[in-house]
Amino acid sequence: MFTVLRLSMNACRECLREPVYYLMLLAALIMIGLFPYFSMFVFRQQIRLVCDSSMATTMLFGLFAAVLCSARTISREMKNGTVLLLMSKPVSRFSFVISKICGILVSLTVFVFICNAATWLSVLIAVDQFKLSKPLVWCYFGAVCVAALYGGVRNFISQKSFSSNAVAAMAVLFPVIAAVSHVIRTKTLSDYLLTDTETFMAARVLIPALCMLFFAVWIMGVISSALATRMEIVGNLMVCLFLFLTGMVLHYFAARTFGTGSAGALLCTSLVPNWQLFWMADVLSNRIVIPASYFVWTLVYSALYCAAWIGWAFFLFQDSELARDTR
Amino acid sequence: MMIEAEHLFKRYGTRLVVDDLSLRVDVGDVLGFIGPNGAGKTTTMKMISGVMPPYAGRVRIDGIDIEAEPRLAKSRIGFLPENAPLHMTMTVRAFLAYTGRLHGFGGRELARRVDRAIERCALKEAAGQEIESLSKGYKRRVCLAQSILHDPKALIMDEPTDGLDPNQKRQIRELILSLKEETAVIISTHILEEVDAVCSRVFLLCSGKTLFDGSKDEFRAKADALQTDLAGLFAAMTEGEQA
CATH of residue B11: 3.40.50.300
CA pseudo-torsion sign B104, A321, A226, B83: positive
Cβ separation of A81 and B82 shorter than 8 Å?
yes
B51 domain residue, yes or no: yes
How many CB atoms sit inside 10 A of residue A157's CB?
Answer: 8
What order of strands is seen across the sheet that includes strand B56-61? B15-25, B3-12, B56-61, B64-65
Residue B91 is classified by DSSP as B
Q: Number of structural domains, chain A?
A: 1
- In degrees, to the nearest 5, what angle opens at C-alpha A190 toward C-alphas A185 and A191? 135
pLDDT in tens, B38-78: 888 888 988 998 888 888 999 999 899 998 888 899 999 99
CB pairs under 8 A between A and B: 82
B60 domain residue, yes or no: yes
CA distance B224 to chain A (A): 34
- A189 touches B at CB < 8 Å: no
Instruction: Look up the domain containing B200 and give its range.
Output: 1-76+155-160+188-243
| CA nearest to A178, candidates A129, A119, A110, A130 | A119
Cβ separation of A323 and B85 shorter than 8 Å?
yes
> What is the pLDDT, as a whole number, of residue A324?
47
Q: Which residues of chain A make contact with B142, given a CB cutoff of 8 A?
A: none
Query: Nearest residue of A to residue B146 by CA position?
Result: A85
B117 domain residue, yes or no: no
B181 domain residue, yes or no: no
Cβ separation of A326 and B102 shorter than 8 Å?
no
Provide the strand spans (E) within A19-62.
none
pLDDT tens per residue across all 327 residues of chain A: 778 888 899 889 989 998 999 999 999 999 999 998 887 777 777 788 888 899 999 999 999 999 999 988 888 888 888 888 888 888 888 888 899 999 999 999 999 999 999 999 998 888 777 788 888 999 999 999 999 999 999 999 887 889 999 999 999 999 999 989 888 877 665 554 444 444 455 667 788 888 999 999 999 999 999 998 888 889 999 999 999 999 888 878 887 888 777 787 778 777 888 888 888 888 877 777 888 899 899 999 999 999 998 998 888 887 666 644 443
User: Do B125 and B63 touch, CB atoms closer than 8 A?
Assistant: no
Q: Number of structural domains, chain B?
A: 1
Cβ separation of B87 and A14 shorter than 8 Å?
yes
Indicate the pairing of strand B30-34 with strand B184-189.
parallel
CA distance A85 to chain B (A): 7
Please give the model's pTM, rounded to 2 decimal places: 0.85
How many CB atoms sit inside 10 A of residue A285's CB?
Answer: 13
User: Do A247 and A216 touch, CB atoms closer than 8 A?
Assistant: no
Across chain B, what does the average pLDDT equal? 87
B112 domain residue, yes or no: no
Cβ separation of B43 and A327 shorter than 8 Å?
yes
- In degrees, to the nearest 5, what angle opens at C-alpha B77 toward C-alphas A88 and B208? 75
Positions of chain B with pLDDT under 70: 240-243
> What is the pLDDT, as a whole number, of residue A222?
94
What CA–CA distance (Å, rounded) separates B185 from B203? 12
What angle, 0 to 180 degrees and rounded to 10, lies between the N-to-C axes of helices A203-228 and A46-70? Answer: 20
Instruction: Look up the domain containing A32 and give its range.
Output: 2-326
B225 domain residue, yes or no: yes
B166 domain residue, yes or no: no
> What is the pLDDT, as a whole number, of residue A45?
75
Please report the ipTM that was assigned to this predicted complex.
0.84
What CA–CA distance (Å, rounded) separates A269 from A262? 11
Query: Nearest residue of A to residue B82 by CA position?
Result: A326
B41 domain residue, yes or no: yes
Cβ separation of A85 and B43 shorter than 8 Å?
no
- Alpha carbon distances (Å) from A131 to A124, A126, B3, B45, B220: 12, 8, 76, 68, 89
CA distance A315 to chain B (A): 15
